Structure 1
């Protein structure tokens, strides 16, 4: 006897489970970066990481040991310089004072005579006088505890040498008096001296020209606080890399000591 068979049962087709999709790993936000306002502005890594307004500037005050230069230094301390700035008192001493036709020429076979000794002694005395006058000009910087350096060079062309030193030292800006530097004052009102006018048009960094109270009074009783400012092509102060540590700190134990640099086109 044959056993009964069960009727076939239709089973549902096998369905593969949906693939498991791995959730994407969240990415951290990109680090914030400091973008310059202009493509021509260069930021060092240290300057970019520093808070805004704390970047160091290298500011020169061009002086000619006159009252106008003394006023420019005082004005810069009171109105322009800020914490973190490094200041250079830049003085170009004209070699026309000691070299040229006044001393004549000496042939290679000529013995060293009293005239040469006197000329050398006069130059040394003039160097000492220049350094002493520069010390007096730097007193407002010392009192304000602003780091500074006195840089003195010798050249027959003061205007061109000033601009060359500004470029060589990589300055952020240069401040100078409106008159002085041995130039004759111009009769027209509001005109700059020949040196300051040349620097305004040829220096690669911004140039701030400060008018002294005497100039204002002499030209019609204008305000003593009047100032003529001329800015170069880029109205931007470039930060100075921190590795350029060539200035003494006026707040440290050597406060008030200055470094003098004497160079000459004849060296």
Structure 2
């Protein structure tokens, strides 16, 4: 009767961090590792999967009937595809070096790459991965740029079903 039963409840937590070639996204990843993951991993009660999500823009599609179709020969298409692969590798390598510099335990990192309109791909991935939180950097566009281009984070805030953290980079 003198024995104690220690019961540890573990919960799997899933975080998606949207990364791209910008400094803002790498700052958001650093912020996430410092503020969301460092404290949760120290307790040991939570196992976290951190998904690094990069969205490649879609390749332009031209048919031979399209007036600009002659511009995109097989060689050019292959070069565009190679550039996309190199850019993906570069972004993911940068994100991995940011992650590795924190040396946090109890975290599993998975890299995910999607192709298409960033806002749609991010929302789809968050739902498909059953994310508990989405972390994104803010490009901090002004009113006019945001009105013309739209804001990926604004769109995601309206469409994802999990909490969204938008991390603004400090002004230099």
Q: Same fold (TM over 0.5)?
A: yes
Instruction: Give the SS at the match of 2:98.
Output: helix
Structure 1 length as normaliser, TM-score? 0.50
Query: Which residue, out of 32, 44, 50, partners 1:87?
Result: 50
Give the structure 2 partner of residue 154 of structure 1: 115
Equivalent pair of 2:26/2:98 in contact (CA under 8 Å) = no
Partners in 2 of 1:129 and 1:161 — Cα distance?
A: 18
Q: Please, which of 153, 156, 172 is the counterpart of residue 199 of structure 1? A: 156
Structure-2 separation of matches of 1:123 and 1:50: 51
Deviations 1:5-47 (A, max 9, x none): xxxxxxxxxxxxxxxxxxxxxxxxxxxxxxxxxxxxxxxxxxx
Question: Runs in 1 of length 4+ with deviation above 4 angstroms?
Answer: none
Equivalent position to 2:81, from 123, 129, 148 = 123
> How far is 1:73 from its partner?
0.7
Q: Residue in 2 aligned with 1:175?
A: 135
Whether the aligned pair in 1 keeps the contact of 2:51 and 2:112 (CA below 8 Å) is yes
Partner of 1:55: 11
Q: Name the one with the larger helix percent.
A: 2
Distance, in Å, in 2 between the alignment partners of 1:139 and 1:114 is 35
Q: Name stretches of at least 5 consecutive residues in structure 1 with no aligned partner.
A: 1-48, 108-112, 218-267
Q: TM-score, normalised by structure 2?
A: 0.75
Question: In structure 2, the residue corresponding to 1:147 is in which secondary structure?
Answer: strand
**Residue of structure 2 equivalent to 1:186:** 142
Cα distance in 2, alignment partners of residues 206 and 67 from structure 1: 23
**Corresponding residue to 2:92 among 134, 137, 141:** 134
Are the equivalent residues in 2 in contact too, given 1:76–1:175 (CA < 8 A)? Answer: yes
Could you give the per-residue CA deviations for residues 192-240 of structure 1, whole angstroms, max 9, x where no partner exists?
Answer: x7000111111011111111113xx5xxxxxxxxxxxxxxxxxxxxxxx
SS in 2 for 1:90: strand
Checking the alignment, whether the CA contact within 8 Å between 2:18 and 2:135 is kept in structure 1 is yes
Aligned-CA RMSD value: 2.6
Match of 2:25 in 1: 69
**Higher RCO (CA-CA < 8 Å; seq separation 6+):** 2
Could you tell me whether the CA contact under 8 Å between 1:196 and 1:209 is conserved in 2?
A: yes
Is the Cα contact below 8 Å between 2:56 and 2:84 reproduced in 1? no
